[in-house]
Structure 1
Amino acid sequence: MYAEERQQAIAQLVVTRGRVSVTDLAEEFAVTTETVRRDLSALDRLRLVRRVHGGAVPAASLSAMESRLDERDVTRAREKERIALAATRFLPDDGGTIAIDAGTTTARLAGLIPPERRLTAFTHGVPIAAALAARATIDLHLLPGRVRSTTQAAVGSITTQTLERVRVDVAFIGTNGITAEHGFSTPDSEEAAVKEALVRAARRVVVLADSTKVGRDTTVSFAELGDVDVLVTDCEPEAVPLATFAAHGVEVVLA
């Protein structure tokens, strides 16, 4: 069976069954799980199926649009709390500088900064800035830009241009997708541009992402695997093996 024929058959199975796992598809088509993952990634890019952790579901079963911030905040909340707590170990010492990307997991990290820690913080996330504004030990810099209602994040050329003049010790960044081929990605091009600028502005890049993001491609890549120093997630990723992260110099921390 040619790859195109197999992918058509996989897409039909996903529609018929509603959800299929990578391991089941590998057995059914007598191919490796890596081959299945590549097939699902190709089908996801064509919007014929939607990649989810461990398999795929019909494209119509999940909205192709970004979830609103309040909706995402309650999704996998327990895992996000664990990830944020584990990420606090990468906060610099007193006098250090950090950048915090907009997002629900990064917002939890902001709330976990020790009250006595004296830091300079940059963020384009409005809720994050609001949470840090009253902290006497935080020298807060809210990045300028147009605020997107979906994510409550400042974006645009003024945001990225400001970050070109900034250098921080650590950037804490969220992502919507992680694959070996597409790197770290997000649905919106303006958000991706800010994330890319945050990566360039940091001496150390720490990505906070729950395990459902691993193995999923979204529209715009903002960093390759090798651009990131640390990935903090809630369990060992299956879609991208630990050896792949290690080969690109990424330390994976399991919360």
Structure 2
Amino acid sequence: MLIAERRRRILDHVQVRGYASFRDLADEVGISESTVRRDLRAMVAEGLLGATRGGAVQVDHAVPDHARGGLPADPVAAERAAIAARAAELVEPASAILLGPGRTTLQLARCLADVEPLTVITNSVPVTTALLDVEHVDLVMVGGTLGRSIGALVGPMTEQSLKGLRGAQVFLSGDGVTVDRGLTTPNVFAAATDMALVAAARQVIVLADHTKLGRETMCQTVPTERIDVLITDSAADPAAVRALRDAGVDVLVADSRSS
């Protein structure tokens, strides 16, 4: 992985969470803690992040793009928003849906204000927070152990509690999608919980911007044949889209220019 890409992912992760430990960042990016420490020293020196005991925190002031060394906070923010808006169109009023963790599923949660009534089952802390004040959404938050690196509840308790639940759709956002392995994530605990989320839904919908297509990480969460719908953006590689469609996945392309 290139240094610029590695540091972009570190910056993204800390800005979403507000704080991340060395271990969280190592697990998230798939690198050693010593590499994380070296990167953080450089990023703190550039004013991108703040140093704290055991990790890094988001800086309180806005950092201009030129000071980031070409590392924007979220280079695909518009694409994520477009994907989330397209996904919200698939949600039927009076249904029950499951939302996994991730920035795009969080965006989807924020798009559900016009879908009523609705039941949302989630293990994501940010998703729960986003829907707390939406009165027409009945929230079901499954229990478990907090995985701080992904802001979600994971582990055997989470998986067990999902066994008794059913939803019309599950919306997931991992780290990579390929034809050979489907949706993947670098986090072992997140992978097991995502599998339990999939088992609780009739339809599986994956939200993946163009940077994730063709990318493969350690743990498979949803094999290609289990993905019913994949929503990506208009910058997606046409060959990757065509290959997924040939494999039986219904690929929807959201245009960020119209969002």
TM-score normalised by structure 2 residue count: 0.70
User: In 1, Cα distance between the equivalents of 2:4 and 2:76?
Assistant: 18
Partner of 2:35: none
C-alpha displacement of 1:239: 7.6
Segment drifting more, 146-155 vs 204-213: 146-155
SS in structure 1 opposite 2:112?
A: coil
C-alpha displacement of 1:195: 1.0
Q: In the TM superposition, what whole-angstrom CA distance separates every residue of 1:8-44 from its partner, at most 9, and x where no partner exists?
A: xxxxxxxxxxxxxxxxxxxxxxxxxxxxxxxxxxxxx
Is 1:186 aligned with 2:185? yes
The runs of 5 or more residues in structure 1 that have no matched partner are 1-49, 51-57
The runs of 5 or more residues in structure 2 that have no matched partner are 18-72, 255-259
Is 1:79 aligned with 2:79? yes
SS in structure 1 opposite 2:191?
A: helix
SS in structure 1 opposite 2:113?
A: coil
Aligned residues of 1:145 and 1:154 also touching (Cα < 8 A) = yes
Aligned amino acid, residue 74 of structure 1: D
Q: Give the CA RMSD over aligned residues.
A: 2.1
User: In 2, Cα distance between the equivalents of 1:238 and 1:178?
Assistant: 12
Aligned residues of 2:113 and 2:134 also touching (Cα < 8 A) = no
Aligned amino acid, residue 76 of structure 1: V
Say how many residue pairs are matched: 197
List aligned pairs for 1:39-54, cutoff 5 A.
50=1
Q: In the TM superposition, what whole-angstrom CA distance separates every residue of 1:208-239 from its partner, at most 9, and x where no partner exists?
A: 11100011110101111111111111126328
Partner of 2:209: 210
List aligned pairs for 1:1-255, cutoff 5 A.
50=1, 58=2, 60-63=3-6, 68=13, 70-71=15-16, 74-93=74-93, 95-115=94-114, 117-235=116-234, 237-238=236-237, 241-255=240-254
SS in structure 2 opposite 1:161?
A: helix
Partner of 1:26: none
SS in structure 2 opposite 1:68?
A: helix
User: In 1, Cα distance between the equivalents of 2:113 and 2:185?
Assistant: 29
User: In 2, Cα distance between the equivalents of 1:224 and 1:151?
Assistant: 21
User: In 1, Cα distance between the equivalents of 2:92 and 2:83?
Assistant: 17
Q: How many percent of aligned residue pairs carry the same amino acid?
A: 31
User: In 1, Cα distance between the equivalents of 2:167 and 2:14?
Assistant: 26
C-alpha displacement of 1:243: 3.3
Segment drifting more, 231-240 vs 176-185: 231-240
C-alpha displacement of 1:83: 0.7
Residues 157 and 69 (structure 1 numbering): CA distance in 2 closer, same or farther, change over 3 Å? farther
TM-score normalised by structure 1 residue count: 0.71
C-alpha displacement of 1:69: 5.8
Aligned residues of 2:92 and 2:115 also touching (Cα < 8 A) = no
C-alpha displacement of 1:116: 5.3
C-alpha displacement of 1:119: 0.8
User: In 2, Cα distance between the equivalents of 1:77 and 1:236?
Assistant: 13
C-alpha displacement of 1:90: 1.0
